[in-house]
Amino acid sequence: MQTKSNDKGFKALLATQFLGAFNDNAFKFVIAALVVDMMDTTGNGTLYLALSGAVFILPFLLFSTFAGYLADKLSKQKIIVFTKVLEFFVMAIGFYALVQNNILAMLIVLFFMGLQSALFGPSKYGILPEILSNKELPNGNGIIQMWTYVAVLLGQTSYGALMDYTNPFYYKAAYVFMSVSLLGILTSLFITKVKPSGGNRPFRLNIVGDIISNIKWIKKDKAIFLSMIGLAYFGFLGGVFQPNILLYARKVMGIEHIQTGFLISALTVGLGLGCFLAGRLSDQKVELGLVPLGAMGLSIFSVLLGFTSHSYLLALGVMFLLGFSCGFYIVPLNTLIQQKSPPDRRGQVLATSNVLTFLAILFGSIFLYVLRDFVHLNAAQIFVVTGVLTIAATLYTFSILPYAFVRFVMWMLTHTVYRIKVLNRNNVPEKGGALLVSNHVSYIDALMLIVTIARPIRFMVFKEIYDIKWLNPLFRLGNAIPISGKENPKDVIKSLHTARDAIRNGELVCIYAEGELSRTGNMLKFNRGLEKIMKGLDNPIIPVHLDRMWGSIFSYDRGKYFFKKPRVIPYPITVSYGKPIPAQSSTFTVRNRVMELGADAFPHRLSDRFTLSEAFWKEARKHPKSFCVADSGGKSLNYSATLTASVALSTKLQSLVGESKNVGVLIPPCVGGVLVNVALSILHKIPVNLNYTTSPEAFVSIVNQCEMKCIITSKKFLEKIKMEVPGKVIFIEDLVPSMTKKDKVIAFIKSLLAPRWLSYRLIFGSRKMRCMSDLATIMFTSGSTGEPKGVMLTHSNITSNLDGLYQTFHVANNDVIMGVLPFFHSFGFTATLWFPLISGMGAVYHVNPLDSKVIGKLVQKHKATILMSTPTFLNSYIRRCTEEQFQSLKTVVVGAEKLKEQVACAFKEKFGIDAMEGYGCTELSPIVSMNLPDYQEDGVLQKKYKPGKIGLPLPGIAIKILDQNTMEPVEVNASGLLYIKGPNVMKGYLNREELTQAVITDGWYKTGDVANMDEDGFLTITDRVSRFSKIAGEMVPHIKIEEKIHELLNSSDQVCIVTSIPDDKKGEKLVVLHLDSIDVKSLVEQLKTSDLPNLWIPDAKMFHAIEEIPILGTGKLNLGKVKVIAKEIFD
């Protein structure tokens, strides 16, 4: 059973180890101190001191292999309980030894203490990988090592106090040791219970032969063996340092027991903190880069101790840093041995490591004895000698771990500037070759992978970059593979073969399949080089996604690399590793998997984000004097005035709306509509913008579904649309005059004069009251096919859509949006209301999207740069607006219905600007994809626009296209059912859980559209499932027929619409409703000679003229009404 480092079972192990370490060290130091105090009378103090260390070590040499055998054979938890019981009896014998004040008896107790520790060791560390996951193991090791050394510290510091308190009756200290042992028995009972690990090897009495045999097979795994040698060297240093510190303190510095305790405490505190920090810095992996750093510290601070004996404070500081370096050195080595050793032989490995370590400790004790009694060096000089020896060990460490050390330095640098979140790093195999395929956004993408995976990665790098002089040594160290498309194709193939061979040989290789950095914010086309690399291999492909790299100073955000102010430090980054996919997966499949990772990572952007009104507040305080909103009624406000008015309005509305959660807003696009929506959001209410073009029945249904108690509207507007509004009505004309000068001043102080923290508190209240998962609005679908459905959109939904829009739109503060779409239209609510408010742009509104002359004047007056509309409204502008009026427009985006080629060409011809088609739906907040102007500069072309297609998906949105028959994913350019995944997918339908479940499965939203995706990632909608007729068993698409009719009529206007009615013979029969101007007989003859199948050609009798094509207020075709008209006519 695996647990976490903060769970009860692990904490019990921690407490058990803590208590045992305290007893070991306190008792050992009591005995060692007694021995040192006898030096003056016996003259053999150094010998006894060394002997006490040797006696404690001897059981580790004699019994470690037996302890390893038991750990592999039995439950490690049960062994731990047994050893704690044994510890109590050893402490009882210790009591007798202290009573007798006999050194020989004390040495015997030390032997049994060593025996207990030797039996405890393999189970104590061997149980860690069994109760902790691999990603928890480094941190768990750091924690247990830290608390071990805290216990060591308490034991070492309390020994002096115990001796002073019990002097001359030192046996009384044994009462403490026995009590601690009893407590240790109790805590051991709560350690996570584990089963035997399955070891079945026989026990060998030949200890030496067993150890030699173990070392032989362990040497086959170089990493484990070198880690054991590294720990053995640390043991050697411990054998020298531990007794030498006492000699250093008492004989060189001449300090008393209490001061000596503090000196030892400095070392121990440093060691504990070093271990803890090493566990945290390991970042859920074995971080071998810490080892050279720790070895360097061991060398430097050991030498420095030889020259700091004259200053107690300086010695304390150096001792602390020496201990800190020790923590960095040992944690990665211990973790690697635990993680890499086979589960059924882990006890054997740990036991062998213990033997080598304690042999080294014994050798260290002998080395200390020789240096002191034969070479006649004092303790300070001994520190210098060991420091010089460690320099050689450090150089060797650097020679075998250069990549790990450089990677750790990079880790430190990146984590200083970036806050990196890693998702599913365990998807990268610990062994064996694999190809990592990542998106490419910035110049430091490779660093993000290097610092999040412990394994070395061979990157495929453009030769021009590989050859840069100051970077080349790093590329060589990382064994990068240079490649260049400009060279001979044979050299490119050679590079691909090198990558293939590396993967075959068990290495990780990374390729950026886009082949260049994205300058658009979108994911680019993936090249097919990855397919050539994986040809003939059975190793996995690991998709990788880097999120939020766009926005860092190393990306092309804001139109340039490097020289720009960071948005925030540390800058948040998310690195996602996907599940392995088969080697022979197509480039198209791999790209889709990377895109899906981006959708899964996108919600992590929102964890520390503000809700919509909070984001607007933040933006308004940033540049209060910038233009914000205006409308055709003459109102024009800057950000300061807009925020102040919204805050003042929210104060007035608070008492009027009362406890109502869902508040209706019946106001067309204008400044007043913006202020009401912002004010309600400030109040933590849910604004429901009501469709004033819908039927009275649908309107009442919406009010009832929302349990709406009040509606905010305008008297003038109600008179104009002649609509009756149920419930409590609040008129905006009554609210504005009721605001006194005092109200406005207070709102201004709250909004802009108060400090940021106070302003937030005064306007929004407690931050805890706001949550990104709260509803931002309820948008109602048209209800053209039945009762209106309430689409619940959260702040997270809309913010994620706005984030993707901002990343690809590349807007500036001087951009101005012409808002013609009503706020009850999801595109209008997201893109023309909130997008400008939280992006720092301006927006201009007009109440009627078909009032072309006024819209043309507004665009010209306010120099609007962005127009968001529908094709239907665009037709009107072509006829009634002048070229001069639209001269300031840089980007025109249309959605809600298909942009016909004739409309696009006519708009381009008149205004000289392409109308860019986008796609979305209310349930998706609403934008899914969008065409935008291509990036073309310095010889680099990156496509963002393809006529006839609906554009590239926004960042954070994943696409899945499934075959309509098999429901399996299709390949490039193949049509199928379109599914969307991302944080923009609605929370659900209001009070319609069954309907929600019918359209959302595992986070994927079923759009009901039939689409395909090309190799560049551009989507094309070929039809809607709801706009098919099943005739004689064949699916006949209405849209294709409509397109052909409009093509034959050379019409850019919607002059006809295709629908169907039931038919007894063939299931359904096609119906064409058209305007009077069509010659039906001639049209049908042309259809028969076109490329349409005969089954798709409507009968001439099924054409019928109508006065107008039914259109919804959103600009979409009213398909429900079309169906009703057709039935009424032909029934």
- Crossing angle of the two packed helices 312-340 and 222-247, in degrees rounded to 10: 160
Whether residue 621 lies inside any domain: the answer is yes
DSSP, collapsed to helix, strand or coil, labels residue 999 as helix
Task: Check whether 531 has a pLDDT greater than 90.
Answer: yes
Same domain, 694 and 588: no
Cα distance between residue 968 and residue 958, in whole Å = 16
Q: Are 538 and 585 in contact (CB under 8 A)?
A: no
Task: List pLDDT tens digits, range 812-855.
Answer: 889 999 999 999 989 999 999 999 999 999 999 999 988 999 99
What pLDDT score does 623 carry? Answer: 92
Q: What is the mean pLDDT of residues 975-980?
A: 92
Whether residue 738 lies inside any domain: the answer is yes
Q: From 59, 242, 262, 50, select the one nearest 153 (Cα to Cα).
A: 262
What pLDDT score does 38 carry? Answer: 55
Among 224-228, 499-503, 955-959, where is mean pLDDT lowest? 224-228
Task: Check whether 4 has a pLDDT greater than 60.
Answer: no
Same domain, 17 and 153: yes
CATH number at residue 117: 1.20.1250.20
Same domain, 800 and 667: yes
The residues that bridge with 481 in the sheet, in sequence order, are 460
Cα distance between residue 402 and residue 423, in whole Å = 27
Task: Check whether 160 has a pLDDT greater than 70.
Answer: no
For 237: left if phi > 0, alpha if psi spans -120 to 50, otherwise beta; the answer is alpha
Averaging pLDDT over each range in 76-90, 668-682, 712-726, which range is the top one?
A: 668-682
> In the block, which residue shows the tokens 């779409």?
821
Range 469-495 burial, b when 16+ CB lie within 10 A, else e: eeeeeebeebebbbbbeeeeeeebeeb
Q: Are 671 and 635 in contact (CB under 8 A)?
A: yes
Cα distance between residue 616 and residue 1092, in whole Å = 52
Whether residue 314 lies inside any domain: the answer is yes
Is residue 511 very low, low, confident or very high in pLDDT (cuts 50, 70, 90)?
A: very high
Cα distance between residue 981 and residue 978, in whole Å = 10
What pLDDT score does 410 carry? Answer: 85
| Count of other CB atoms within 10 angstroms of residue 881 | 21
Is residue 36 very low, low, confident or very high in pLDDT (cuts 50, 70, 90)?
A: low
Domain count, the chain: 4
What pLDDT score does 782 carry? Answer: 61
What is the token pair recorded at 693? Answer: 């073009």
Is residue 121 very low, low, confident or very high in pLDDT (cuts 50, 70, 90)?
A: confident
Task: Check whether 1086 has a pLDDT greater than 80.
Answer: yes
Per-residue DSSP letter, 444: T
Cα atoms found within 13 Å of the Cα of residue 863, Cβ hemisphere only? 4
Same domain, 369 and 345: yes
Among 236-250, 422-436, 657-671, 868-882, where is mean pLDDT lowest? 236-250
Residue 947, Cα to own-chain centre: how many angstroms? 35
**Exposed, middle or buried by CB within 10 Å (0-12, 13-18, 19+), for 178?**
middle
Q: Residue 704: which residues within 8 A CB-CB, separation 6 or more?
A: none
Among 99-103, 116-120, 321-325, 488-492, where is mean pLDDT lowest? 99-103
Task: Check whether 638 has a pLDDT greater than 90.
Answer: yes
What's 712-769 look like in SS3?
EECHHHHHHHCCCCCCEEEEHHHHHHHCCHHHHHHHHHHHHHCCHHHHHHHHHCCHHH
Q: What is the pTM of this model?
A: 0.80
Same domain, 775 and 749: yes
* Triad 278, 281, 284: Cα angle to 5°: 105
Quote the radius of gyration of the chain (alpha carbons, Å).
Answer: 38
What pLDDT score does 1023 carry? Answer: 74
Cα distance between residue 952 and residue 1013, in whole Å = 9
Same domain, 826 and 777: yes
Q: What is the mean pLDDT of residues 572-588?
A: 94
Cα distance between residue 1052 and residue 898, in whole Å = 12
What is the token pair recorded at 1080? Answer: 């039906």
Is residue 319 very low, low, confident or very high in pLDDT (cuts 50, 70, 90)?
A: very high
Last residue of a domain, one of 606, 630, 663: 606
Q: What is the mean pLDDT of residues 214-230?
A: 86
What is the token pair recorded at 341? Answer: 């050793």
Q: Residue 205: which residues within 8 A CB-CB, separation 6 or more?
A: none
Q: Residue 493: which residues within 8 A CB-CB, separation 6 or more?
A: 532
Same domain, 146 and 253: yes
What pLDDT score does 783 carry? Answer: 45
Cα distance between residue 201 and residue 204, in whole Å = 9
What pLDDT score does 164 carry? Answer: 65
Q: Are 345 and 72 in contact (CB under 8 A)?
A: yes
Per-residue DSSP letter, 374: T
Is residue 692 very low, low, confident or very high in pLDDT (cuts 50, 70, 90)?
A: confident
CATH number at residue 1086: 3.30.300.30
Among 522-536, 815-829, 833-847, 1035-1049, where is mean pLDDT lowest? 1035-1049
What pLDDT score does 487 carry? Answer: 60
Task: List pLDDT tens digits, range 301-317.
Answer: 999 998 988 888 999 99
Q: What is the mean pLDDT of residues 356-372?
A: 85
Task: Check whether 784 has a pLDDT greater than 50.
Answer: no
Position with higher pLDDT, 683 vs 349? 683
What pLDDT score does 166 carry? Answer: 63
Task: Check whether 143 has a pLDDT greater than 60.
Answer: yes
Whether residue 983 lies inside any domain: the answer is no
Cα distance between residue 374 and residue 14, in whole Å = 42
Same domain, 748 and 839: yes
Whether residue 275 lies inside any domain: the answer is yes
Query: In the sheet where 710-713 sits, what is the strand order?
Result: 686-689, 662-666, 710-713, 728-731
Is residue 1 very low, low, confident or very high in pLDDT (cuts 50, 70, 90)?
A: very low
Cα atoms found within 13 Å of the Cα of residue 387, Cβ hemisphere only? 20
Is residue 49 very low, low, confident or very high in pLDDT (cuts 50, 70, 90)?
A: low
Task: List pLDDT tens digits, range 613-635.
Answer: 999 999 999 999 999 999 998 99
CATH number at residue 622: 3.40.50.12780
What pLDDT score does 958 carry? Answer: 95
Same domain, 478 and 589: yes
What pLDDT score does 474 carry? Answer: 87
How far separated are the first and last CA of the chain, in Å rounded? 69
Whether residue 442 lies inside any domain: the answer is yes
Q: Are 975 and 1035 in contact (CB under 8 A)?
A: no
State whether the Cα torsion 402-406-407-409 is positive or negative. positive
Is residue 436 very low, low, confident or very high in pLDDT (cuts 50, 70, 90)?
A: very high
Per-residue DSSP letter, 863: T
> In the block, which residue shows the tokens 């010659």?
1079
- Structural domain containing residue 242: 8-191+208-400
Q: Residue 818: which residues within 8 A CB-CB, separation 6 or more?
A: 843, 844, 855, 858, 859, 862, 864, 866, 867, 868, 889
Q: Are 631 and 670 in contact (CB under 8 A)?
A: yes
Q: Are 682 and 764 in contact (CB under 8 A)?
A: yes
For 1079: left if phi > 0, alpha if psi spans -120 to 50, otherwise beta; the answer is beta
Same domain, 575 and 644: no
Q: From 951, 1094, 1073, 928, select the one nearest 1008 (Cα to Cα).
A: 928
Cα distance between residue 406 and residue 393, in whole Å = 18
Q: Are 818 and 836 in contact (CB under 8 A)?
A: no
Helices and strands (DSSP H and E) totals, the chain: 40, 35
Q: From 1071, 1091, 1069, 1068, select the one nearest 1080 (Cα to Cα).
A: 1071
Q: Are 706 and 727 in contact (CB under 8 A)?
A: no
Task: Check whether 1106 has a pLDDT greater than 70.
Answer: yes
Q: Are 1048 and 1084 in contact (CB under 8 A)?
A: no
Q: Are 854 and 880 in contact (CB under 8 A)?
A: no
What pLDDT score does 592 carry? Answer: 94
Q: In 282-311, where does DSSP find H-type helix? A: 290-305
Q: Are 711 and 727 in contact (CB under 8 A)?
A: yes
Percent with pLDDT over 70 in the chain: 94
Last residue of a domain, one of 942, 973, 1006: 942
Q: Are strands 976-981 and 958-962 parallel, antiparallel or unpaired?
A: antiparallel
Task: Check whether 128 has a pLDDT greater than 90.
Answer: no
Same domain, 586 and 617: no
Whether residue 420 lies inside any domain: the answer is yes
What pLDDT score does 5 carry? Answer: 52
Q: From 800, 879, 887, 802, select the one nearest 841 (Cα to Cα).
A: 802
Q: What is the mean pLDDT of residues 650-658?
A: 90
Last residue of a domain, one of 368, 400, 432: 400
Q: Are strands 976-981 and 1004-1013 parallel, antiparallel or unpaired?
A: antiparallel
What is the token pair recorded at 1068? Answer: 């359904």
The residues that bridge with 442 in the sheet, in sequence order, are 555
Q: Are 582 and 534 in contact (CB under 8 A)?
A: no
Question: Mean pLDDT across the chain, nearest whole number?
Answer: 87
CA dist 414 → 21, 549, 561 (Å): 37, 13, 18
Cα distance between residue 596 and residue 390, in whole Å = 50
What pLDDT score does 727 carry? Answer: 84
Cα distance between residue 580 and residue 542, in whole Å = 5
> In the block, which residue shows the tokens 């390991």?
282
Task: List pLDDT tens digits, range 397-418.
Answer: 888 888 888 888 888 888 888 8
For 515: left if phi > 0, alpha if psi spans -120 to 50, otherwise beta; the answer is left
Whether residue 673 lies inside any domain: the answer is yes
Q: What is the mean pLDDT of residues 957-970?
A: 91
Q: What is the mean pLDDT of residues 201-214?
A: 77
What pLDDT score does 53 carry? Answer: 64
Same domain, 315 and 442: no
Quickly list DSSP for 773-819.
Answer: TSEEEEEEP--TTSS--EEEEEHHHHHHHHHHHHHHH---TT-EEEE
